[in-house]
Amino acid sequence: MMSDLDASTPRVFLARHGETEWAKIGRYTGTTDIELTPIGVEQVSSTGAHLVGPGRLIDPSRLAHIWVSPRKRAQTTLELLFGSHIDTLRKAEKVTTTEDIAEWNYGEYEGLVESEIREGRKRKGLDVHSAWNIWQDGCECGESAQQVTERLDNLISDIQEIQRPCMDGEKPADVILVAHGHILRAFAKRWLKYSMETPLPMMMSPGAIGVLSYRHRDINDRAFFLGISIPSKE
């Protein structure tokens, strides 16, 4: 049987931006443009040094496309991850900045920590029978779980249009999403065909890389890597 780790099967890399001051203290950061902290810069730079480059896990020559959030923290992360390779990727028109992978729009909850959100909803008489859950309840004056689902499903469709002709390794067709913690976890749920409200505890550190792909080179059998071997650079 063919190994699921065969790198010729197209992959989707998820890259979370590095630490910001708001993320560090748990403030919900959606549309607010905020810079990386010095530690955030180090996180992403270290990830790039270890995982990005010719012969590494994320080989720029194997990338078919990059989608990146418009927010500065994601844009900076893209530049730090790819370093000198980013100019070549841009010239090849392989980089798209899009709201499709922007962070969840938190609406009235922008800049708040979770305890403040819950207290505010309680004062309004909400969540009488169960605690607020963004995956189910969405955000007041922001995005609902259904709205997030729809934009991510559209993006998944675009990705699969690129990868469908390449399932047998006809040519490299890896892609990468450079974005934010909540939206990347939401993307992983939809990649696995789970609804937003399906309980699926996930963690993703600032500056981290996640990997999704397909089992058995089947475009309809989307999966995630529980663990992945790191290629040795020649």
The answer to whether 106 is a known ligand-binding residue is yes
Q: Are 122 and 129 in contact (CB under 8 A)?
A: no
Active site residue 65: no
Q: Are 25 and 58 in contact (CB under 8 A)?
A: no
CB count, 10 Å around CB of 196? 19
The answer to whether 181 is a known ligand-binding residue is no
With CA atoms as reference, report the closest residue to 14 among 145, 180, 150: 180
Task: Give the active site residue among 65, 85, 103, 143.
Answer: 103
CB count, 10 Å around CB of 67? 20
The answer to whether 104 is a known ligand-binding residue is yes
The answer to whether 191 is a known ligand-binding residue is no
Q: Are 76 and 130 in contact (CB under 8 A)?
A: no
List CB contacts of 187: < 8 A, sequence separation 6 or more. 14, 101, 152, 155, 156, 177, 179
The answer to whether 190 is a known ligand-binding residue is no
Active site residue 180: no
Give the Cα separation of 234 and 218 in Å (integer). Answer: 30
Task: Give the active site residue among 17, 85, 180, 182.
Answer: 17
The answer to whether 30 is a known ligand-binding residue is yes
Query: What is the DSSP track for 79-105?
Result: HHHHTTHHHHHHHTT-EEE-GGGSPP-
Q: What angle do CA 64, 192, 222 make, to 5 degrees?
A: 50
The answer to whether 9 is a known ligand-binding residue is no
Which amino acids are annotated as binding site for substrate, given as ranges? 29-30, 73, 103-106
Which amino acids are annotated as binding site, given as ranges? 29-30, 73, 103-106
- Catalytic residue annotation: 17, 103
